[in-house]
Structure 1
Amino acid sequence: MLPPVRQILVWGLRNLKQVRCPQLLVECWEEALMTEPIKDYQTNPNFGQSVLFLTLFMPTEAAYALPLVLKVVDNRDFGQQTMVGQANIDSLQHYFCDPWASDYVPPRLPSTPSPRPRQQLLGNLFEKFWFTSSKAEDEDEPQEVDWWSKLFWATGDNSFPKYQDRDYHSLKVYDCELEAVPAFQGLQDFCQTFRLYQEQPKSDSPVVGEFKGLFRVYPFPENPEAPQPPRQFQLWPQKDDFPQQCLVRVYVVRAINLQPQDYNGLCDCYVILKLGQTELGNRDKYRPNSLDPIFGTMFELSCTIPLEKDLKIELYDFDLFSPDDKIGSTVIDLENRLLSGYGARCGLSQSYCKSGPFRWRDQVPPSFLLEHHAKRKGLPPPLFSPEDDSVFYNGRKFKLQHFEPQPPSARYLGPKRERLALHLLHTQGLVPEHIETRTLYSDSQPGIDQGKVQMWVDIFPKKLGPPGPPVNIRPRKPKRYELRCIIWKTAQVDLKSVSLSNEKMSDIYIKGWLFGLEKDRQTTDIHYHSLTGEGSFNWRFTFTMDYLAAEQVCVLSQKDYIWSMDPTEMKFPPKLIIQVWDNDIFSPDDFLGVLELDLCDMPLPAQHAKLCSVRMMDTDSMWPHFLQHQRFSLFKKKAVTGWWPCQVLENGKWRLSGKVKMTLEILSEKEALIRPAGRGQSEPNQYPTLHPPLHTNPMLTWFQSPFRNLCHVFWKRYRFKIIAVSIISIIGLMLFSFMYSTPSYLAMSWVKPELRLNAPIKIFTSVINSLNTSNGSSPTLATRHPGPEPAAHDDLKPLLQGPKNHLQDIFPELPAPEG
């Protein structure tokens, strides 16, 4: 059994009420040790002597160690002493250390990671050939980034900014309190907080105060000439620096999963901060109707540590008539953060930027912080060499090239000296730039989680100078945009209806709306009696939306009910939904297909209907870049025209059900006022002017061209029969004509009537010749008729005047029958 030494760090007493001159009494078995009283507790509650030693014989095994009792005694008038609080430490196992052990290793700095050029080369090749198709577009155009971008990069809630320098501005999000992170030892590496009770503590005993201190138990040699073990509390902050004036900035980002307080299952939450006698917050700035409100508020206040060390964050539910309900609260010990060797007063940023949206916010540069950290660790100050951009620290030489193999591409970076110091600080295990998630508890329901709040605290001692500008975490405000969608035509749309002629057809019309804005649904006119799936519309849809570009979401604020006092804010992706329908009169309309386009990441349209396919909508990023269909953001391209495919789900698979030709154009609110355009084909019909397509009324189709419609109706169904009947009819007509003309033809061939017609003509010719001969030989005939001699053809004139005369000359006149 060796005489273990209990080295005790007594820092101070906190939150004791109605005390004048307290002092601490440490008891262990039969040994006791008392500190000097704190004479002016109201102005400086710290002890004058910080380190005490208590030596006693006890077992060296931690399991058999004796308990320790801490008592706070207040010295009052006339030498009266009153015990105002006590604390029992039953187990000292966590405070045992053995500096004499052979395997004892003093705390060392973490090893500095070395760069790996092989992995970096593979990463560059992967990003070059196996990345999304929108990378080049994102790099070409600068993006607006802010603190919220860092938050979304860290949480992965949003894929938006594909910012090429995002690795230079990282942010750590802890899902618990900063004190609960194992790597930071509860921020009690310098001193711990022990609660004081009036009596033996129980589950419901009230806390009357706190003791700030720490213990170390190690064996001490009995031989006084033996070398003394090293002291465990070698360095601590200067006593003259406390109490210390500080500027505190509290950033309350948002709350998560709050307990409902109103009848609608929501709450109207606002934040109240309390630090000492200071109270900040405004109940009029509440966030209505939300269990996950976004505050984005920064509170700045001054305090004196340790007199004002407990920062209390309270969340209340706003009520119009009744008193506000307290949702929950959480308390942060600012003194522990200021004294901790992990640099919890202000988290380390990933990069040292002198300007820009991610400006360095601490009071001092990284080189000063590195020198201060070396002093706390008992190390010599770092030695910087500007010739080769190196620093000699803790017996090693570090070059900037080890941390930055290639020149950084980020903008606004500071000098190389500060960047090198910051790289070394990141290897020391210090608190990085972060957001902590603190659990809220209520006094009415102790121990029950009432929700969580995400926040962080920066503490700036005023003796170090003025701090940098505060971080802007105000919630982002959406901008008003107008989306104009012109439906030109459709092609290859499925045919669902059946006409009177038993042929497939569709009466096509199109619906369109933005996701989340279903109340603003718009519909085109109807293209009747489409037999090929084609339709012409020339119809304009206009949609107004409030778009948040940094988060790629649309924001909608509306009241849930008429009697609601405040609107509820909702966020949803900017997605355009186009549906193709078949109009029916007596039955419900038939759904033909749907097209969903994410305006931030949509496929490039096809220029011709033949090139439009379902593969355009495939978002599988496993294919290489050169095999992927090109995608773009409409908010960057502004306007586009082409063909997109419509799909329908059948048997668990999507298939092509039609194609739509559209023009999409996005305009800001100012541009929409300069270039107004009406919905559909109404005025102002411009940009561009839409003319009604040539549509025929289906009721008048039969009357306008009945023959064409009859041919169109019957031809497709009965064309083979019509062709067969026509051929048979022609053949039958030819047979009938042949049979009808055959008897006459045979009669003409057998009887030969032309012979009977030719014989009288020959007789008549012989008679004429005989008459001419007799007239020439008889002179008496010539002398009977005085006057000029008639010509020869005059004698034949009576015979040639008609067919009746020559028949009378040939055949003698028959006597008339007797009466």
Structure 2
Amino acid sequence: MRAYVYQARSLIGSDSSGLSDPFASVIIGDQTESTLVIDETLSPTWDELLLFNDVLIYGTMENIKLDPPTIVIEIFDQDKVGKSEFIGRTIAKPHVKAFEEPYERPHFPPSLEWYEITRGDDRAGELLATFELLEIPLKQDRSILPELPSPRTPCGKTPFETEKETVLPVPAGIRPTLSKYRIEVLFWGLRDLKRIHLLTVDKPRVDIECAGNILYSSVIQNAKRNPNFTNPVKFVDVELPDQDLYRPPLTIRVIDCRSFGRITLVGTHTINSIHKYIYTPICKKDKEAEERKKSLIQLQNVDLVNNCIISEDTVTVENEKENWPLLMREGRSAVSYGSGVKVISKRASKRELNKKRKESTESAFDDDEGSKDWWTKYFASIEAMIEEEKEAKKERQGVLTPSEHKMMNHMLAEMKYIHMNWKLYLNLTISKNGCIRLNSIEEKTGDDSEDESRIVGVFKGAIKVYKWPLPKGIEDHTVMGFDPNFGFFQGVPNNEPIHVLVRVYIVKATDLHPMDLNGKADPYIVLHLGSKRISDKEHYVSKQLNPVFGKCFEIEATFPQDSNLIIQVLDWDLLGSDDMIGETRIDLENRFYSRHRATCGLAKRYEEIGKTFQASNKDVLRCGSTFPHGHAAARAPVDISPRKPKSFEMRVIIWNTDDVVLEDDAFFSGGSRPDDCQTTDIHYRSLTGEGNFNWRFIYPFDYLEAEEKIVISRKESVFSWDESECKIPARLELQVWDMTISQRTTLG
């Protein structure tokens, strides 16, 4: 039998440093063979072929193929003193080859497979290996078997009580193809480190391991004073498989360097797949190939019979007049390509619609110069986006299939106008430039559960993996415009402590959780930043689940010590302590160093999915800005205070009525809101349906012109402590009634 043991990943750390010195022991029947020991790693690469000679198996070849013998693979950690410590085990079945079968694809040589390593019920890692069982007939020797690879130089030490004369590598037909890669890491800082063994973490260091290579960060000399690294950018060159299935994981460890040379493991985090951090550059040849491919696609869409071009964004109309709509749209153009067939462009019509919509929005602003406040622009942008969604929905209904239509509706639901997108990252974004934030440093265990008690800190950084050297003629550049041959993290800003002025704009909250017995809440805002706390309890909003705050708060802070902003929404109670409805946390340091800049204004795009309350899972629309202290950019804050209604008085004159279908006696009633109803006097004994009143109704009310709503402030009951505010549409209702002795009837 031949055992091809290539590597393992995500093993359990057995030493105090959080690492292991693993080796694999393969057992079949009464024979045992072991690999070399790889020092201080959780993802060892053994790359060994273990031979088992004279394996005797009873049974026919058919039965052996149906039920091959079981192979047990055990992983141990070799210690300098004492016995080796057990890490985990897995079982496997070999690929059985009869003597008369050819040794060729697709069955032989076998491909490497991942086997899960377990210790009891816990997961202890994965093993990449494969096994084959080759038949040797009687009176034959091993020369009939496939040729073995040439021995290689050992890259590790042998386990205790074992001797290895030669080390055979995994053959080229089985082992994955390797290429040289560069792993570039931006070590930014560490946050929220918990105590380890009752002592604070004062001098932490981060180690990143991949394929047996370790990249060490600089040591933070005083984590309490400045938790950022002094030398943030480092790299290491490694050999990695080109196939993503065989690539080893990234293991991130945080070590506390204590006095007298002692080191203590703080926590670990494993990135099982590095696929999303792989960068593939675009060369001139690839770009030219893509352009040629596009031109070929365009040539395939040429209709030589009708002498016209048929593309994805055009609609061919054979009889133009028959297909015209009843009302012609302005700006709809038809282009002829030398024949009677017309090609109508959808992009042109859509562009015209967007242009008209934009002009109408701008004209709406110009009509009323006095209403150009922040809220006017906010509501105008909402209306424009709703119209765009309606137009897009109409286009999709006629083009997309039901499954695509459902998918697009789900995507649009995530792009509604409720919440601004504050997903801003440190200098670089994940999707385009490879920046990430690692949200947890897990304690040393084989359990993958996301228990909050196991999280001991946060590592902030970025990872970039790319082939090295980069190909010639590359056209890509870094986000700062530098040549990527000198590193992708060039131009990273200084991460020294900086004093800033933070402005937090709380616009409104939506769908809050009811906290009172009446199904409402009395919410107000509380801010926490570092040791500072700001409470707006005096300005709580009475009996509202969708309150509009319109507040701006200013706080002075120092990054990175005071970078975690906590926004809480509490429910005001007359008696007892106030209840917390929910809270959200924002990393202001990420926002300050974002290449989108830390400014505040009306965004062009709004998103429904964003930061959410942890307690009640409700959303808050908010915005914020950060400025260096004393910088010229710290101009006056934007005024987002809620609009105050203006007092109006509406006067309605009822002169007479005519052609009223009579019942008895008629009189008029009118009202502008449900609780404000006024009536005229009664016109008795009308015979022709004509009634002369000469009556005047007077309705005083508070009115918001921009929203076209009446604001009513009143107590809901006699037991209410304060007044609650509600908004209703501005609508006037006039009714004619017939008055009788017993009852009155509506005439119209």
Give the alignment's TM-score, normalised by structure 2: 0.56
1:467 deviates by 1.3
| Matched letter for residue 460 of structure 2 | K
Map 1:174-185 to 2 at 5 A: 175=419, 177-179=421-423, 185=429
1:63 deviates by 2.9
1:575 deviates by 1.5
Does structure 1 residue 55 correspond to structure 2 residue 237? Answer: yes
Cross-structure match for 2:530: 276
Q: Aligned pair in 2 of structure 1 residues 308, 436: CA closer, same or farther (>3 Å)?
A: farther
Map 1:462-541 to 2 at 5 A: 462=629, 464-495=631-662, 497=663, 506-515=664-673, 518-541=674-697
Does structure 1 residue 203 correspond to structure 2 residue 450? Answer: yes
1:340 deviates by 2.1
Cross-structure match for 1:44: 226
Map 1:113-128 to 2 at 5 A: none
Does structure 1 residue 213 correspond to structure 2 residue 467? Answer: no
1:346 to 588, 594, 599: 599
1:145–1:550 Cα contact (<8 Å) kept = no
Q: Aligned pair in 2 of structure 1 residues 522, 46: CA closer, same or farther (>3 Å)?
A: same
Q: In 2, Cα distance between the equivalents of 1:33 and 1:150?
A: 50
Q: In 1, Cα distance between the equivalents of 2:609 and 2:224?
A: 33
Does structure 1 residue 591 correspond to structure 2 residue 738? Answer: no
Q: In 2, Cα distance between the equivalents of 1:124 and 1:13?
A: 47
1:454 deviates by 0.7
Q: In 1, Cα distance between the equivalents of 2:558 and 2:545?
A: 35
1:180–1:186 Cα contact (<8 Å) kept = no
Cross-structure match for 1:442: 614
> Residues 194-232 of structure 1: CA distance to partner in whole angstroms, max 9, x if unpaired?
121233452214322111111111222599xxxx97244
| Matched letter for residue 249 of structure 2 | P
Secondary structure of 1:337's counterpart equals helix
Cross-structure match for 1:147: 374
Cross-structure match for 1:727: none
Q: In 1, Cα distance between the equivalents of 2:541 and 2:210?
A: 54
Mind listing any 5+ residue stretches in structure 1 that lack a counterpart? 107-115, 160-170, 350-430, 498-505, 594-819
Secondary structure of 1:203's counterpart equals coil
| Matched letter for residue 199 of structure 1 | K
Cross-structure match for 2:502: 248
Secondary structure of 2:224's counterpart equals coil
Does structure 1 residue 94 correspond to structure 2 residue 276? Answer: yes
Secondary structure of 2:732's counterpart equals strand
1:306 deviates by 1.5
Cross-structure match for 2:190: 13
Q: In 1, Cα distance between the equivalents of 2:727 and 2:521?
A: 18
2:429–2:436 Cα contact (<8 Å) kept = no
Q: In 1, Cα distance between the equivalents of 2:697 and 2:626?
A: 54
2:385–2:417 Cα contact (<8 Å) kept = no
Q: Aligned pair in 2 of structure 1 residues 103, 50: CA closer, same or farther (>3 Å)?
A: farther
Q: Aligned pair in 2 of structure 1 residues 269, 84: CA closer, same or farther (>3 Å)?
A: same
> Residues 602-638 of structure 1: CA distance to partner in whole angstroms, max 9, x if unpaired?
xxxxxxxxxxxxxxxxxxxxxxxxxxxxxxxxxxxxx
Cross-structure match for 2:492: 237
Q: Aligned pair in 2 of structure 1 residues 222, 295: CA closer, same or farther (>3 Å)?
A: closer
Q: In 2, Cα distance between the equivalents of 1:131 and 1:4?
A: 54
1:96–1:217 Cα contact (<8 Å) kept = yes
1:190–1:339 Cα contact (<8 Å) kept = no
Q: In 1, Cα distance between the equivalents of 2:499 and 2:355?
A: 53
| Matched letter for residue 591 of structure 1 | T
Q: Which moved more, 1:318-327 or 1:40-49?
A: 40-49
1:510–1:580 Cα contact (<8 Å) kept = yes
1:237–1:339 Cα contact (<8 Å) kept = no
Q: Aligned pair in 2 of structure 1 residues 551, 174: CA closer, same or farther (>3 Å)?
A: closer
Give the alignment's TM-score, normalised by structure 1: 0.52
Q: Aligned pair in 2 of structure 1 residues 131, 190: CA closer, same or farther (>3 Å)?
A: closer
1:260–1:266 Cα contact (<8 Å) kept = yes
1:513 deviates by 0.9
1:287 to 541, 544, 547: 541
Secondary structure of 2:449's counterpart equals coil
Secondary structure of 1:212's counterpart equals strand
2:559 to 281, 300, 305: 305
Q: In 1, Cα distance between the equivalents of 2:676 and 2:282?
A: 79
Q: Aligned pair in 2 of structure 1 residues 473, 437: CA closer, same or farther (>3 Å)?
A: farther
Q: In 2, Cα distance between the equivalents of 1:305 and 1:187?
A: 26
| Matched letter for residue 11 of structure 1 | W
2:421–2:605 Cα contact (<8 Å) kept = no
Q: In 2, Cα distance between the equivalents of 1:299 and 1:187?
A: 33
Cross-structure match for 1:567: 723
1:244 deviates by 1.6
Secondary structure of 1:148's counterpart equals helix
Map 1:754-769 to 2 at 5 A: none
1:277 deviates by 1.0
1:2–1:221 Cα contact (<8 Å) kept = no
Does structure 1 residue 64 correspond to structure 2 residue 246? Answer: yes
Q: In 2, Cα distance between the equivalents of 1:312 and 1:461?
A: 20
Mind listing any 5+ residue stretches in structure 2 that lack a counterpart? 1-177, 195-199, 289-330, 334-347, 387-414, 472-482
Cross-structure match for 1:618: none
1:471 deviates by 0.7
Q: Which moved more, 1:204-213 or 1:322-331?
A: 204-213
Q: In 2, Cα distance between the equivalents of 1:131 and 1:532?
A: 49
1:271–1:313 Cα contact (<8 Å) kept = yes
1:581 to 732, 737, 744: 737
2:710 to 538, 542, 554: 554
Q: Aligned pair in 2 of structure 1 residues 525, 103: CA closer, same or farther (>3 Å)?
A: farther
Q: In 1, Cα distance between the equivalents of 2:731 and 2:261?
A: 79
Q: Aligned pair in 2 of structure 1 residues 126, 72: CA closer, same or farther (>3 Å)?
A: closer
2:510–2:545 Cα contact (<8 Å) kept = yes
Q: CA RMSD in A?
A: 3.8
1:235 deviates by 2.1
| Matched letter for residue 667 of structure 2 | Y
> Residues 742-794 of structure 1: CA distance to partner in whole angstroms, max 9, x if unpaired?
xxxxxxxxxxxxxxxxxxxxxxxxxxxxxxxxxxxxxxxxxxxxxxxxxxxxx
1:176 deviates by 6.1
2:429–2:435 Cα contact (<8 Å) kept = no
Does structure 1 residue 453 correspond to structure 2 residue 453? Answer: no
2:714–2:723 Cα contact (<8 Å) kept = yes
Q: In 1, Cα distance between the equivalents of 2:283 and 2:747?
A: 81
